[in-house]
């Protein structure tokens, strides 16, 4: 997204709010941009930063070719500061450095921009430190906080920012984008359910690991209906060695969730919404017969709970074991 | 870009510039060193965004040729490898060449290095400061000014503006002030020619300490100019830029009492040593408190007392004591810092009661001023 009119296509409201404030020269001192993965938070932040620094602004659009724009793109502009979560959260040390930056004057210009990615991961201490800056902004600084989980932002922070809500992407639109870029339709449907990011979708589909995990997932579901006694063995032999780190485990659960959703869809006769399976799949028909609707409902809940447990640092092996026992 | 340069000149410049480069920086390009070749010389730049150092190697000076075969251009090189390479090259001259794909070749004798460079466009642009808006000082004088004030800056982050030194240039008087709200140090000097005036800029103490380390003790002039967000110190071949602190410095002139009830004239070194000795026992105590008591017309008693350790008492004879009797307690560390900063043999200490700040000045010289707040004891 390189111009506001391009942003307009996906996020009409957000684009309008920001372009109007640019034109009227009333850019707020702090924005909280909230929206799901892939809704264009970073693109908007980048664009707004460029607007503030670009040398040849046309209307509200930056030129993308002046040295300021280029350096913002490459992360080398000395007056644009990016704060990203260091591991799981944004640490107090990072905020301390940022605060030091607040009291210095700008390097090249008299204005400064701070972009805080994953603002929901601010630790409570770090968040409270930022508050002070949000309360008494110094002249000509703009803060942009990006989050996909607006619920975990402190209310005290939220109330001091102009909130920009990004609406979720339309999965059909994304599927269309994917098929246009050369992905098969079946894959496109699956990918649009898993991610909103075009690049991720393509790297995943080409990734051997992903193909393997899909196979394991299908096998696992098969096992549930055919040899339920061996499932426990199966997860220890295949599932756990395959899904190693946190991200992979989350993805595994996502896949499992989608698969069981499909089985439910098959039962209630909404075959068109299915993501992982196709209607004529043999194993699907078998599992559909095996699980009752009530049971499926129960399983879906269990998977969601397992995802939550994983987020709260429960040991991944235990989470998976518990889940299989519940199923 | 291409040039051939004398290696010892390059090493010296690289070492100066490296002082500004830090490995842990948020902006990736700042881990590099910018090399700019112009017809008349080579310029190296290093920065950690707070301070920037530029070193200039003229193509020719005093009839000596330092740089030859210059083709103009600029490039950013990884500062992790470049200095070591230059230091260990075999010959006396180094040839550096960069092509349009940002590939850099460094040759010396039969050694050849190929380094990947970065686009110089990406490097922060340092402000072009106007040389007309500047004033000059002697380098050693500037170092003195820094030394006498910068120790008093605050190290706490609660009031960030106090981590800097306040500079003021008005009516050809340059004044440095630093305070951490418990003590204050200031020094004023006349400036010969100044065509700028500024009422209050705040330079980070960290930058001044760094500058102090870099400057040599010479009486050569150093040129100082100021923009709204940077200050530049310029010697013949070295440019030192620092960002300024944003905010208003508190008004300090009202803190300084203009009357005094007790005035003490004393030899600086004697007092310094006495307090140093007394503070040996005071160290256990968190505040480092020592007590000063005037006795008759000539002697002063310095005591320190920490109940768990013991007590120390020492009398020293003052040159003279005028005014009321006095008992006052203060931090020995602050006092020692202040006395060390005053480089005169005799000091005048003016008290206005045990609960009021007191000031220390050299006798017959008002340009240096140290102010300390006393500690309340019972």
Is there a single domain that holds both residue B248 and residue B260? no
Q: Which residues of A touch B24 (CB under 8 A)?
A: none
Question: Would an 8 Å CB–CB cutoff place A202 in contact with chain B?
Answer: no
> In chain B, which residue's Cα lies nearest the Cα of A94?
B26
> In chain B, which residue's Cα lies nearest the Cα of A106?
B229
* Residue at B220 is within a domain: yes
The DSSP 8-state label assigned to residue A238 in this structure reads I
CA A259 to chain centre: 21
Six-digit token string for A234: 């199966």
> In chain B, which residue's Cα lies nearest the Cα of A141?
B246
Is there a single domain that holds both residue B265 and residue B222? no
Using CA atoms in the order B5, B9, B12, B18, what is the torsion angle rounded to 10 degrees? -20
Percent of chain B with pLDDT over 70: 97
Is there a single domain that holds both residue B357 and residue B263? yes
CA angle at residue B40 from B37 to B41, to 5 degrees?
45
Is there a single domain that holds both residue B163 and residue B198? yes
Q: Which residues pair with A39 in a beta bridge?
A: none
Q: What is the pLDDT of residues B123-174, one digit of tens each?
A: 888 777 666 678 888 898 899 999 999 999 998 877 888 999 999 988 888 9
pLDDT at B119: 87
pLDDT at B166: 93
CATH annotation of A4-165: 3.40.50.300
Q: Which residues of B touch A111 (CB under 8 A)?
A: none
B247, pLDDT greater than 60: yes
Which stretch of DSSP H or E encloses residue A192? helix A185-194
* Residue at B355 is within a domain: yes
Inter-chain contact B123–A76, Cβ cutoff 8 Å?
Answer: yes
Could you tell me which residues come within 8 angstroms of residue B273 by beta carbon, excluding any fewer than 6 positions away? none
* Residue at B143 is within a domain: yes
Is there a single domain that holds both residue B260 and residue B316? yes
Closest CA to A190 of A174, A168, A169: A174
Q: Which residues of B touch A105 (CB under 8 A)?
A: 228-230, 243-246
Is there a single domain that holds both residue B49 and residue B109? yes
* Last residue within a domain, chosen from B122, B143, B162: B122
Q: Which CATH number fits the domain that encloses residue B315?
A: 3.70.10.10
* Last residue within a domain, chosen from B195, B221, B253: B253
Q: What is the pLDDT of residues B222-242, one digit of tens each?
A: 888 888 788 889 888 888 999
Cβ atoms of residues B287 and B331 within 8 Å:
yes
Pairing of strands B51-58, B183-190: unpaired
What's the average model confidence in pLDDT over B344-368? 89
State the DSSP string of B126-147: PP---SSSEEEEEHHHHHHHHH
Instruction: For chain B, state the CA radius of gyration.
Output: 26
Residue B178 pLDDT level (bands cut at 50, 70, 90): very high
Q: What is the ipTM of this complex?
A: 0.73
pLDDT at B286: 64
B285, pLDDT greater than 60: no
* Last residue within a domain, chosen from B211, B237, B253: B253
Inter-chain contact B229–A103, Cβ cutoff 8 Å?
Answer: no
Could you tell me which residues come within 8 angstroms of residue A29 by beta carbon, excluding any fewer than 6 positions away? A134, A137, A141, A142, A143
pLDDT at B349: 92
B208, pLDDT greater than 90: yes
> In chain B, which residue's Cα lies nearest the Cα of A78?
B124
Say which residue, B108 or A247, is predicted with more confidence.
Answer: B108
What's the average model confidence in pLDDT over B51-55? 90
Is there a single domain that holds both residue B196 and residue B262? no
Interface test with A, best of B20, B21, B24, B26 (most A CBs within 10 A): B26
Q: How many domains does chain B have?
A: 3
Inter-chain contact A105–B243, Cβ cutoff 8 Å?
Answer: yes
pLDDT at B177: 93
Which range has the top average pLDDT, A213-217, A240-244, B269-273?
B269-273
Inter-chain contact A67–B30, Cβ cutoff 8 Å?
Answer: no
Interface test with B, best of A76, A82, A101 (most B CBs within 10 A): A76
| pTM of the complete model | 0.77
Chain B residues near any Cβ of chain A (below 8 Å): 26-30, 49-50, 121-127, 157, 160-161, 163, 204, 228-230, 243-247
Closest-CA distance of chain A to residue B21, Å:
14
Question: Would an 8 Å CB–CB cutoff place A105 in contact with chain B?
Answer: yes
Q: Which residues of A touch B243 (CB under 8 A)?
A: 104-107
Q: Which residues of A touch B163 (CB under 8 A)?
A: 103
Contact pairs from chain A to chain B, CB under 8 Å = 71
Give the 3-state DSSP-derived string for A200-230, with helices as H, strands as E and coil as C. Answer: HHHHHHHCHHHHHHHHHHHHHHHHHHHCHHH
pLDDT at B203: 92
Six-digit token string for B280: 């040996």
Cβ atoms of residues B299 and B329 within 8 Å:
no
Is there a single domain that holds both residue B213 and residue B266? no
Question: Alpha-carbon distance A148 to B233, whole Å?
Answer: 46
Q: Which residues of A touch B232 (CB under 8 A)?
A: none
* Residue at B148 is within a domain: yes
Closest CA to A157 of A123, A181, A191: A123
Is there a single domain that holds both residue B110 and residue B15? yes
State the DSSP string of B145-165: HHHHHGGGS---SSSGGGGEE
Residue B69 pLDDT level (bands cut at 50, 70, 90): confident
Dihedral sign of CA atoms B8, B9, B12, B14 in order: negative
What's the average model confidence in pLDDT over A146-172? 81
Is there a single domain that holds both residue B138 and residue B104? no
Which stretch of DSSP H or E encloses residue A18? helix A12-23
pLDDT at A281: 67
Q: Which CATH number fits the domain that encloses residue B80?
A: 3.10.150.10
Token match 């092996």: residue? A317
The domain in which residue B107 lies consists of: 2-122
Question: Alpha-carbon distance B167 to B181, whole Å?
Answer: 17
Inter-chain contact B127–A108, Cβ cutoff 8 Å?
Answer: yes
Phi/psi of residue A292, each to 5°? -85, 165
Closest-CA distance of chain B to residue A98, Å:
10
Closest CA to B96 of B78, B71, B122, B79: B71
> In chain A, which residue's Cα lies nearest the Cα of B163?
A103
Question: Would an 8 Å CB–CB cutoff place A273 in contact with chain B?
Answer: no
What CATH number does domain A207-326 carry, 1.10.3470, 2.60.120, 1.20.272, 1.10.490?
1.20.272
Q: Which residues of B touch A76 (CB under 8 A)?
A: 27-29, 122-124
Lowest mean pLDDT of A300-314, B1-15, B232-246, B269-283, name the range: A300-314
For chain A, the structural domain boundaries read: 4-165, 207-326
* Residue at B67 is within a domain: yes
A131, pLDDT greater than 70: yes
Inter-chain contact A76–B161, Cβ cutoff 8 Å?
Answer: no
Question: Would an 8 Å CB–CB cutoff place A136 in contact with chain B?
Answer: no
State the DSSP string of B267-292: EHHHHHHHHHHHHHHHTTSTT-EEEE
A80, pLDDT greater than 70: yes
What's the average model confidence in pLDDT over A131-158? 80
pLDDT at B129: 64
Question: Would an 8 Å CB–CB cutoff place A82 in contact with chain B?
Answer: yes
Six-digit token string for A14: 């957000």
Q: What is the pLDDT of residues A274-289, one digit of tens each?
A: 666 666 667 777 777 7
Inter-chain contact A105–B246, Cβ cutoff 8 Å?
Answer: yes
Residue B214 pLDDT level (bands cut at 50, 70, 90): confident
Name which of B27, B49, B121 is nearest A70 (Cβ-Cβ): B121
């Amino acid at each position: 997204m390189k111009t506001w009119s391009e942003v307009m296509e996906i996020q009409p409201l957000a684009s309008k709010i920001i372009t109007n404030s640019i034109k009227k020269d009333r850019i707020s001192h702090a924005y909280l941009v909230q929206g799901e993965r892939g809704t264009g938070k970073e693109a908007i932040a980048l664009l707004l930063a460029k607007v503030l620094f670009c040398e040849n602004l046309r209307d509200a659009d930056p030129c993308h070719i002046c040295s300021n724009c280029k350096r913002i793109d490459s992360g080398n502009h000395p007056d644009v500061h990016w704060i990203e979560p260091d591991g799981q959260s944004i640490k107090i040390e990072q905020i301390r450095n940022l605060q030091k930056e607040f009291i210095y004057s700008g390097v090249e210009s008299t204005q400064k921009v701070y972009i805080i990615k994953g603002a929901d991961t601010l630790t409570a201490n770090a968040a409270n430190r930022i508050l002070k800056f949000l309360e008494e902004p110094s002249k000509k600084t703009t803060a942009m906080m990006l989050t996909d989980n607006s619920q975990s932002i402190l209310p005290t922070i939220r109330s001091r920012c102009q909130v920009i809500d990004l609406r979720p992407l339309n999965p059909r639109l994304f599927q269309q984008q994917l098929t246009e870029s050369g992905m098969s339709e079946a894959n496109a449907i699956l990918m649009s359910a898993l991610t909103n990011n075009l690049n991720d979708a393509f790297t995943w589909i080409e990734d051997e690991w992903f193909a393997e995990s899909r196979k394991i997932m299908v096998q696992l579901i098969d096992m549930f209906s055919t040899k339920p006694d061996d499932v426990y063995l199966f997860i220890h032999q295949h599932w756990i060695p395959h899904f190693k780190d946190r991200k992979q485990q989350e993805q595994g659960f996502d896949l499992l969730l989608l698969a069981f959703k499909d089985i439910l869809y098959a039962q209630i006769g909404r075959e068109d919404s299915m993501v992982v399976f196709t209607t004529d799949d043999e194993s699907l028909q078998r599992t559909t017969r095996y699980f009752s609707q009530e049971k499926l409902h129960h399983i879906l809940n269990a998977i969601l709970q397992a995802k939550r447990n994983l987020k709260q640092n429960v040991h991944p092996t235990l989470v998976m074991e518990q889940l299989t026992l519940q199923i | 870009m291409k040039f051939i340069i004398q290696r010892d000149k390059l090493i010296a410049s690289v070492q100066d510039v490296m002082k500004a480069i830090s490995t842990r920086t948020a902006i990736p390009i700042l881990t590099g060193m910018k090399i700019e070749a112009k017809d008349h010389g080579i310029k190296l730049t290093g920065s950690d965004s707070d301070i920037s150092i530029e070193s200039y190697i003229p193509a020719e000076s005093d009839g000596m040729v330092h740089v030859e075969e210059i083709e103009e251009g600029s490039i950013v090189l990884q500062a992790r490898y470049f200095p070591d390479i230059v230091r260990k090259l075999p010959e006396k001259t180094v040839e550096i060449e960069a092509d349009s794909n940002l590939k850099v070749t460094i040759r010396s004798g039969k050694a050849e290095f190929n380094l990947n460079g970065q686009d110089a466009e990406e490097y922060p642009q340092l402000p072009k400061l106007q040389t007309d808006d500047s004033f000059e000082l002697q380098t050693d004088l500037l170092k003195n000014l820094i030394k006498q004030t910068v120790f008093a800056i605050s190290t706490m982050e609660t009031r960030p503006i106090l981590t800097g030194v306040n500079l003021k240039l008005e009516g050809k008087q340059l004044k440095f002030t630093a305070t951490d709200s418990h003590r204050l140090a200031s020094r004023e000097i006349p400036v010969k020619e100044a065509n700028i005036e500024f009422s209050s800029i705040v330079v980070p103490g960290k930058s001044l300490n760094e500058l102090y380390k870099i400057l040599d003790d010479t009486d050569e002039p150093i040129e100082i100019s100021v923009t709204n967000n940077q200050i530049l110190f310029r010697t013949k071949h070295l440019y030192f830029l620092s960002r300024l602190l944003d905010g208003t410095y508190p008004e300090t002139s009202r803190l300084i009492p203009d009357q005094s009830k007790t005035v003490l004239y004393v030899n600086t070194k004697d007092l310094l040593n006495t307090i140093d000795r007394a503070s040996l026992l005071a160290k256990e105590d968190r505040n480092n408190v020592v007590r000063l008591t005037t006795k008759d017309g000539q002697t002063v008693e310095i005591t320190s007392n920490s109940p768990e350790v013991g007590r120390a008492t020492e009398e020293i004879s003052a040159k003279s004591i005028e005014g009321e009797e006095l008992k006052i307690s203060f931090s020995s560390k602050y006092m020692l810092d202040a006395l060390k900063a005053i480089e005169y043999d005799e000091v005048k200490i003016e008290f206005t009661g045990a609960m009021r700040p007191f000031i220390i000045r050299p006798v017959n010289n008002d340009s240096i001023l140290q102010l300390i707040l006393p500690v309340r004891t019972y």
